[in-house]
Amino acid sequence: MALSNRACQAAKPKIKSYKMADGEGLYLEVTPAGTKLWRLKYRLYGKEKRISIGAYPDVSIVGARQAKEEIKKEIKAGIDPVLKRQQAAQINALNQQLDFKSMAMEWYWKQIPLWKPKHATIIKHRFEKYVFPFLGHFPLTEIKPLQMLNCLQKMEKTAPDLTRRMKAACSHVFKYAIATGRAENDPTYGLEAALKKFKRGHYASISVDEFPEFLTCLNDYQRHIHRQTFLALHLLLLTFVRTCELVEARWEEINFEKAMWVIPAQRMKMNLPHVVPLSRQALALFQELKEINAGREFIFTGYYNPRKPMSKNTMLVAIKRMGYNGKMTGHGFRALALGILKEKLGYSHAIADRQLAHVPKSSVDRAYDRAQFLPQRIQMMQEYADYIDKVR
């Protein structure tokens, strides 16, 4: 006979546990301590099993019967409710143990084969500096949008230009967690609406008309700086490569006979090899550097550790001390060269832009145009060096 609330309430403890049947395997077990527990007896694959549904009166008779019907549906589908509960408990325990830092590093190591070593180092550093101190030890599934926003807004105070990049990186972590069954949502979604607008400016660069004065200042300043630093600045002017591409250059990249510098793809921003035709003036500077740093791996060696390349900040400090702080940067040499090539020497934007290692937007053009305009670029680089001598 089915149980009633009165019967359940009136049940008293005895020396031993006893059962009060409700029907279809559901019963109330009364323990010697007076605890009343709902249990369901069922058979699956020929074996008799039991599962706990909860304690009375927290789980009412109606609630116990509803739970019984749900469990019977699972049994009919061949699902063992006890095993299902155990698996859910294990997953919940794992999710509690899985913090944001663990998931972020798991995602990070998945991306390593796709990134350049330098980029990988930068991404890891940003997580360690801006995100892990605030969210690293939080369980992944417990991080809410407000927590994520607080972290990003703290970052805005010191690194506003990186805030949106790190929001995107965190979003990738959550999407990876969702794809691998460790999370159900991305708490970074829509947070850009609550972040400050940030407009990145151009790198500081002098104009073409200011170039003669800058060149005079550079030549006058050479007695105040290390010879290698002066040569680096002059080669940055003559080749207008990126600062990191210059300071990390190796001797094996320079072909003195062909007057060519081939920067390998792994050192280039767009992962494509870049050819830099060398003028007579640039070759002379490289030859002098070879006498200074003969037998070294890097063309520009570190002052304190010759086995490492010179810091690019060395040139930036020199430019500041020349009085061009906020007016000129290492990257500014590229904008300056582009202006001279187009305004003073009459070269087309396409040829000059290719020498800057800017690639076409079309993937087809990128595949076939790696050395396009090379004869014109060889001539252009020599005329450009001669122009600098003329201005000097």
Catalytic residue among 84, 189, 368, 392: 368
Residue 4 token pair: 């009633």
Q: Is 267 a catalytic residue?
A: no
Instruction: Give the C-alpha separation, 354 to 22, whole Å.
Output: 84
CA 264, 287, 385, 380 torsion-angle sign: negative
Characterize the bridge pairing of strands 18-23 and 274-277: unpaired
Q: Is 242 a catalytic residue?
A: yes
Catalytic residue among 39, 269, 308, 370: 269
Instruction: Give the C-alpha separation, 256 to 278, whole Å.
Output: 9
Catalytic residue among 167, 334, 354, 377: 334
Q: Is 368 a catalytic residue?
A: yes
Q: 322-353: string of b/e by CB count within 10 Å (b at 16+)? A: bebeebbbbbbbbbbbbbbbbeeeebeeebbb
Catalytic residue among 154, 331, 344, 370: 331
∠ CA 277-278-279, rounded to 5°: 120
Q: Is 126 a catalytic residue?
A: no
Query: Would residue 386 be called left, alpha or beta, if left means φ above 0 and alpha means ψ between -120 and 50 degrees?
Result: alpha
Distance between start and end Cα atoms, the chain: 109
Q: Is 331 a catalytic residue?
A: yes
Q: Is 125 a catalytic residue?
A: no
Catalytic residue among 36, 242, 354, 377: 242
Residue 192 token pair: 């850009």
Q: Which residues belong to the active site?
A: 242, 269, 331, 334, 358, 368
